[in-house]
Chains A and B, each alone.
Chain A
Amino acid sequence: MSEFLHQLTLSQGALLSGVQVTIYISFLSIIIGTAIGLVIGLVLTYAPFLARLPFRIYVDAIRGTPVLVLILAAYYVPAVLGVSLDALSSGILALTGFCAAHMGEIFRGAFQSVEKGQTEAARAIGLTFPQTVRYVLLPQVIRSVLPTWVNTGAELVKGSTLLSAIGVGELVLRTQEIIGRNFMTMEFYLVAGLIFLLINLAIESFGKYLERRLTYA
């Protein structure tokens, strides 16, 4: 036990940097991915068929591809095309694209589930379409999307572990390096697992907090 604690102290810097990278990647991906997903959701719901088509194909293609394949593609394809992208950027690109596709589909469902009368009432008052989205639809959509959004956030944190495959120094890769030095396989994977659990519990309670704040009678 004291040997474990000793090794833990030795490796805390590496663990901490791993946690930071994991959170950094997940945070950026979910923020940018959600913003793009909102646009995708709006297009899928309200745009005419031809404008919708490329977005539909994008969403279905991404959702039908394993995250690991997306990550490998984001890492190797740009290089083939002559664009140099470091592992971290590739990873963020892949996870953002993944998040955007999922959130796009989630937003589409949420926009479609708002009663048609809401849009009509907004138009009848004289609101333009952007105003209708901003003041009438979005406040309702955000509430219904929230639980799934939190879930997607947790998925991204877990998905970010796959970036170890392209050498991004996130928590899993750091843990593997630590284990490579001290051979305490069981102990340090447990530590990593515990950290992931804590991160996702934090995300979940943040979601619950938001949900409470946003409910209305």
Chain B
Amino acid sequence: MTDTTSTALLEIDGLHKRFGDLEVLKGVDLNVAEGEVISIIGSSGSGKTTLLRCVNLLEEFQEGEIRLEGEAIGYREVNGVRKRLPDKDLSRQRSMTGMVFQSFNLFPHLTAAENIMLGLRKVRKLGKDEARAKAETWLGRVGLAERVDHHPGQLSGGQKQRVAIARALAMDPKLVLLDEITSALDPELVQEVLQTVKELAAEGATLMLVTHEMAFARDVSTRIVFMEQGLVAEQGPPEQIFGAPKHPRLAEFLGRSRT
């Protein structure tokens, strides 16, 4: 177990998530400190993606608490009854975390720059010029300075995903969630996206990523979290997780991933 001090940026306590009768998360506890890069691994159906989506409030959860910088997100207690926060509060809390999706989800009617500017203008309330400048800076940082005014339809998969990363990061989120961001990409486009993530990690961004790229996870992460059947089964620094897995299912999972 990594030391979980009170300085944690994100605290997840006893998180339960059910889809009808199916319990996907069965009491997840996880703390993330500022500057950490956490890779969540595990077989499909283990709850990795659902966990990320709960943190970004894209999913409701039934029990437990998620705190971001100490603030409980998504729910509050009114006279002992747990209630989902109103849309306005959810939006504010969502804007504190950035999310990058497997399928990019760029807005097709907007250019690369406009995709980034939308949140800056409407959520961060920046002026047009300021938002534009920031969008251009971020597109430059992900190596797409030449593609500022292109529409998503004119970009390759890897370029789209880099725009999506820039869109999330330009909002200055406390925490960035990356959900299998290379899974929909052609193999030759995977590296350019992973390289971008690596640069962000090196700059000190706090990242939480769900990935199937084991070599990348090992390389970039400060901590690996192995999920199994809706629970955190094992976690630790990459050397320990990959070098000396303790949980039998983890050893089995890693064995399968290598082939």
Indicate with 1 or 0, residue by residue over B65-92, a CB within 8 angstroms of chain A CB atoms: 0000000000000000000000110111
Query: Do the beta carbons of B171 and A125 come within 8 Å of each other?
Result: yes
Q: A128: which B residues are within 8 A, CB to CB?
A: 87-88, 91
* B residues 41-77 in Cβ contact with A at 8 Å: 56-58
Contact of A216 among B104, B105, B123, B153 (CB under 8 A): B153
Query: Do the beta carbons of A126 and B101 come within 8 Å of each other?
Result: no
Query: Do the beta carbons of A216 and B108 come within 8 Å of each other?
Result: yes
Query: Do the beta carbons of B91 and A124 come within 8 Å of each other?
Result: no
For A129, the closest partner residue in chain B by CB is B87
**Is B106 engaged at the interface, CB distance under 8 Å to the other chain?**
yes
Query: Do the beta carbons of B122 and A127 come within 8 Å of each other?
Result: yes
Q: A121: which B residues are within 8 A, CB to CB?
A: 99, 101, 105-107, 164
**Is B154 engaged at the interface, CB distance under 8 Å to the other chain?**
yes
Query: Do the beta carbons of B123 and A126 come within 8 Å of each other?
Result: yes
* B residues 162-202 in Cβ contact with A at 8 Å: 164, 167-168, 171
The smallest C-beta distance from A215 to any residue of chain B, in angstroms, reads: 10
Interface size range of chain A in the complex: 20 to 34
Query: Do the beta carbons of A140 and B109 come within 8 Å of each other?
Result: yes
Q: Of B87, B119, B153, B164, which is in contact with the most chain A CB atoms at under 10 Å from its CB?
A: B119
* Complex alpha-carbon distance, A122 and B90, angstroms: 12
Interface size range of chain B in the complex: 20 to 34
Query: Do the beta carbons of B168 and A216 come within 8 Å of each other?
Result: no
**Is B118 engaged at the interface, CB distance under 8 Å to the other chain?**
yes
* Complex alpha-carbon distance, A126 and B118, angstroms: 10
Given A131-B122, A217-B153, CB of A125 within 8 Å of CB of B105: no
Query: Do the beta carbons of B105 and A126 come within 8 Å of each other?
Result: no
The smallest C-beta distance from A48 to any residue of chain B, in angstroms, reads: 13
* Complex alpha-carbon distance, A117 and B58, angstroms: 11
Query: Do the beta carbons of B119 and A126 come within 8 Å of each other?
Result: yes
* Complex alpha-carbon distance, A123 and B122, angstroms: 12
Given A124-B98, A131-B122, CB of A217 within 8 Å of CB of B91: no
* A residues 113-171 in Cβ contact with B at 8 Å: 115, 117-118, 120-129, 131, 135-136, 139-140, 143
Q: B206: which A residues are within 8 A, CB to CB?
A: none
Query: Do the beta carbons of B122 and A124 come within 8 Å of each other?
Result: no
**Is B94 engaged at the interface, CB distance under 8 Å to the other chain?**
yes
Query: Do the beta carbons of B101 and A117 come within 8 Å of each other?
Result: yes
**Is B222 engaged at the interface, CB distance under 8 Å to the other chain?**
no
Q: Of A125, A128, A216, A217, which is in contact with the most chain B CB atoms at under 10 Å from its CB?
A: A125
The smallest C-beta distance from B184 to any residue of chain A, in angstroms, reads: 11
**Is B95 engaged at the interface, CB distance under 8 Å to the other chain?**
yes
Contact of A124 among B58, B92, B106, B109 (CB under 8 A): B58
Indicate with 1 or 0, residue by residue over A61-94, a CB within 8 angstroms of chain B CB atoms: 0000000000000000000000000000000000
Query: Do the beta carbons of A140 and B108 come within 8 Å of each other?
Result: yes
Q: A124: which B residues are within 8 A, CB to CB?
A: 56, 58, 94, 97-99, 101, 168
* Complex alpha-carbon distance, A128 and B105, angstroms: 17
The smallest C-beta distance from A116 to any residue of chain B, in angstroms, reads: 9
Q: A139: which B residues are within 8 A, CB to CB?
A: 109
Query: Do the beta carbons of A125 and B109 come within 8 Å of each other?
Result: no
For B109, the closest partner residue in chain A by CB is A139
For A136, the closest partner residue in chain B by CB is B107
* Complex alpha-carbon distance, A122 and B88, angstroms: 13
Query: Do the beta carbons of B109 and A127 come within 8 Å of each other?
Result: no
Query: Do the beta carbons of A217 and B105 come within 8 Å of each other?
Result: no
Q: A117: which B residues are within 8 A, CB to CB?
A: 101, 103-105
Q: B87: which A residues are within 8 A, CB to CB?
A: 128-129
**Is B151 engaged at the interface, CB distance under 8 Å to the other chain?**
yes
26 interchain pairs, CB-CB under 8 A:
A115-B105, A117-B103, A117-B104, A120-B58, A121-B101, A121-B105, A121-B106, A122-B107, A123-B57, A123-B94, A124-B94, A124-B99, A124-B101, A125-B118, A125-B123, A126-B91, A126-B92, A126-B95, A126-B171, A127-B118, A128-B91, A136-B118, A140-B107, A216-B153, A217-B153, A217-B154
B→A interface (CB under 8 Å):
56-58, 87-88, 90-92, 94-99, 101, 103-109, 118-119, 122-123, 150-151, 153-154, 164, 167-168, 171
Across chains A and B, which 4 residue pairs bring their CB atoms closest together, nearest first?
A: A126-B95, A121-B105, A125-B119, A117-B105
Other A-B pairs beyond A126-B119, A140-B108, 7, CB < 8 Å: A115-B103, A120-B105, A122-B107, A125-B119, A135-B122, A140-B107, A216-B151
